[in-house]
Amino acid sequence: MVLYPWQPTSAVSDQDLRFPTLMKQPQTMLDKVWDDHVVRSAPGEPDLLYVDMHLIHEVTSPQAFESLALSGRRVRRPDLSMATVDHGIPTVGRELGISDPLSRHQIEALEQNCEEHGITLFGVDDLRQGIVHIIGPEQGLTQPGMFIVCGDSHTSTHGAFGALAIGIGTSEVEHVLATQTLPRAKPGSLAVTVDGDLPLGVTAKDVILGIIREIGVNGGHETVIEYRGSTITGLSMAGRMTVCNMSIEAGAVAGMIAPDDTTFAYLEGRPYVPTGGLWEEMVAYWETIPSDADAVFDREVVIDTTGLEPFVSWGVNPAQVVEVTGRVPSPDSFDDPLERDSARRALEYMDLEPGTAMTDIGIDRVFFGSCTNARIEDLRAGAEVIQGRTVHPDVGAMVVPGSGLVKLQAEEEGLDRIYKEAGFEWRDAGCSMCLAMNDDILSPGERCASTSNRNYEGRQGRGGRTHLMSPQMAVAAAIAGHLVDVRAWQ
Amino acid sequence: MKPVSVVEGQMVPLPHANIDTDQIIPKQFLKGVKRTGLGPNLFYDWAHDEEGEVVSGFVLNRPEYAEAAVLVAGPNFGCGSSREHAVWSLADAGFEAILAPSFGPILENNCYQNGLLPVVLADDDAEEFAKLAADPANSVTIDLPAQRVSSGDFTASFEIDPHVKERLLNGWDQVDITLQSVADIDTYESSRPRFMPALG
């Protein structure tokens, strides 16, 4: 059961004056969430921010715990920390133990560290184990207005709830363990407004890939992006998480979406969400978080969804995408010399010729998973594409649910049967081939349709070639054996 | 952390845009539990072929750059993953500073935590240093107190957060600094309204 450490304050205290409802100046959501977490502020120094939730996994934490021990320090707030194993864990044959000695050692180190410091761990055998950014929201640990950190760049996912959520390195993981705070200079604000209905077959993944193509992989540099507009508010929480997840792919510090009734309905009744009077109080607070109508952003980008198509990537960064009906671009079509150089190198690595129709690109593998697209809604959407069809005989395809609970839910709905009968492998939860730290890895030269977030060189295996796309598009590609416009099937 | 003041040494050019941390240190080297010994794995997949043999043409493998201490990179250097292993491997391989027009947000912070100096230059200045770095005989001096970079006759200035600069110059550990504010943290925790989100 949830025990809140905070005591109710009496009447109106000085503390309450920090709260947005009493503020005069119009504020962005970033301003409000930021201000509510400032522990200490001094001229010429970064603000010291209080961390509400620290998510921990096995790959970026062992050195942090080691340094903590060497300096004789303890974890300040183990009750505000939560750990799971995801990056290196196998997705098949777990009952036989973890055969990779290095990964096993990392996982054991996390188990020992959590045990020693009293940190809750959703471990290897826990049904709640899964990708850290899937399980936070799933458990109701992720809540609006929080400041959330994790030693992982896709921490931006949690911003879908109106939380400020940022990825940090291992030294800062140690800092948060020791102090429950993080010093940060306040980033700028970028409003990305997306308006319009999503055309059939076009998903949240296509929205964020389109945004990244528009603003570039460095377009969010030193800013927190607030996604807003009718397209964004029309998305489910799963879709909003997909959008915020890839904020880091636009170079942003974080991404945020204002909490609303969709957010509250998603959260109500989840294990770590309070009930009764406290729930009412929290919702009342959360309703104050969205940006004021007249709030001013440092920069704004407007995107219209009219004519938006499913995107697929052709290159080695997530801005190198094109509509599925499009063709591999020529490097000469880029004005900027650095972009031209990037495109030339990308095509060489991807072994693609300019002018090739995207739908003529054959594939060897399909990876359906990752913190971007492995929630139950994604698995449902992918299964709908199948309609009795089977995976192309030359393609190896796997579905890796985002958590043990997503997997269980899918099995209760019979989705596992649909995938397995179609010829997909049905795996256990983990990061898997998104970054290929376990045995789920491409061989050199293999080409993969992937629902993940990064098409970097070698990301899914040395010499492997990744094409990013939505779950629906990846399932269709698995069946067709090449990239395909899923809209023709719907 | 070792204080950083003036970095002097050889430059090596790698002026591509968006060099991500997956390239700096591929995933197979993230399975350790120590910060040390990662230098030989820096840019592993660019520095080695599929059989693990050294790629002699890769700029960091060229003997004339063996002493390089400053990497000259393109914009958005170190984008992507939060893996601090990227910084540990650069430092272990002898790098003390990186010159680039911009850095990935997490890598930049990771650099500061480890005394590796990320120098943000104007695009034109970064290009000029990349050209100068193409001649291995050219060395560079980065003067952090003066916020100046120079190689031969060419000099450029750079901006850095004054607080970060002070911390680097003094080699201060961030945890030590923050723990001086422990009373503020206590006060914040004890005075927080109960409707503020938190775990229990």
Q: Which residues of B touch A141 (CB under 8 A)?
A: 199
For B79, which residue in chain A has the nearest alpha carbon?
A251
A390: number of Cβ within 10 Å: 12
Pairwise CB contact (< 8 Å): B23 & A457: yes
Give residue A2's pLDDT: 35
Distance in angstroms (rounded) separating the CA atoms of residues A486 and A206: 13
Closest-CA residue to B9 (of B160, B142, B154): B142
Q: Which token pair is B44?
A: 């592993």
Give residue A371's pLDDT: 98
Closest-CA residue to A298 (of A214, A375, A410, A222): A222
The tens digit of pLDDT for each residue in A211-229 reads: 999 999 999 999 999 999 9
Backbone angles phi, psi at A161, to 5 degrees: -100, 5
Distance in angstroms (rounded) separating the CA atoms of residues A31 and B98: 32
Residues B159, B160, B164: CA angle, nearest 5 degrees:
170
For B105, which residue in chain A has the nearest alpha carbon?
A253
Residues A189, A193, A198: CA angle, nearest 5 degrees:
145
Pairwise CB contact (< 8 Å): A251 & B104: yes
**ipTM (interface pTM):** 0.97
Q: Which residues of B touch A109 (CB under 8 A)?
A: 33
Distance in angstroms (rounded) separating the CA atoms of residues A126 and A89: 13
Distance in angstroms (rounded) separating the CA atoms of residues A4 and B198: 7
Is pTM beyond 0.90 here?
yes
Please give the helix or strand (H or E) that residue B9 lies within, else none.
strand B6-14
Interface with chain A: mutation pick from B18, B107, B123, highest number of A CBs within 10 Å: B18
Superfamily grouping for domain B6-191: Aconitase, domain 4 (3.20.19.10)
How near does any CA of chain B get to the CA of A105, in Å? Answer: 8
* Contact criterion met (CB below 8 Å) for A332 and A405: no
* Contact criterion met (CB below 8 Å) for B177 and B124: no
Interface with chain B: mutation pick from A1, A2, A4, A348, highest number of B CBs within 10 Å: A4
The tens digit of pLDDT for each residue in A436-462 reads: 999 999 999 999 999 999 999 999 999
Q: Does A145 touch chain B if contact means CB atoms closer than 8 Å? A: yes
Residues in chain A: 490
Closest-CA residue to A179 (of A259, A101, A81, A246): A81
CA trace torsion A474, A478, A480, A486 (10° rounding): -20
B192: pLDDT strictly greater than 90:
no
Confidence of residue B197 (pLDDT cuts 50, 70, 90): low
Place of tokens 């001013």: A296
Handedness of CA A66, A67, A70, A72 (dihedral sign): negative
* Contact criterion met (CB below 8 Å) for A310 and A485: yes
The tens digit of pLDDT for each residue in A67-78 reads: 999 999 999 999
Pairwise CB contact (< 8 Å): B31 & A100: yes
- A465 bridge partner residues: A447
Give residue A340's pLDDT: 96
Q: Kind of pairing, strands A425-426 and A396-399?
A: parallel
* Contact criterion met (CB below 8 Å) for A239 and A194: no
Distance in angstroms (rounded) separating the CA atoms of residues A79 and A205: 34
Pairwise CB contact (< 8 Å): B179 & A152: no
Give residue A17's pLDDT: 45
Distance in angstroms (rounded) separating the CA atoms of residues B140 and B144: 13
* Contact criterion met (CB below 8 Å) for B44 and B29: yes
Q: Does B110 touch chain A if contact means CB atoms closer than 8 Å? A: yes
Distance in angstroms (rounded) separating the CA atoms of residues A111 and A117: 10
Distance in angstroms (rounded) separating the CA atoms of residues A130 and A108: 16
Give residue B80's pLDDT: 97
Low-confidence ranges of chain A (pLDDT < 70): 1-24
Confidence of residue B194 (pLDDT cuts 50, 70, 90): confident
Q: How many CB pairs under 8 A join A and B?
A: 222
Which of A66, A218, A458 lies nearest to residue B22, judging by beta carbons?
A458
Distance in angstroms (rounded) separating the CA atoms of residues A218 and A212: 9
B33: pLDDT strictly greater than 70:
yes
Pairwise CB contact (< 8 Å): A457 & B22: yes
CA distances (Å), origin A117, targets A123, A134, A169, A400 = 15, 24, 20, 31
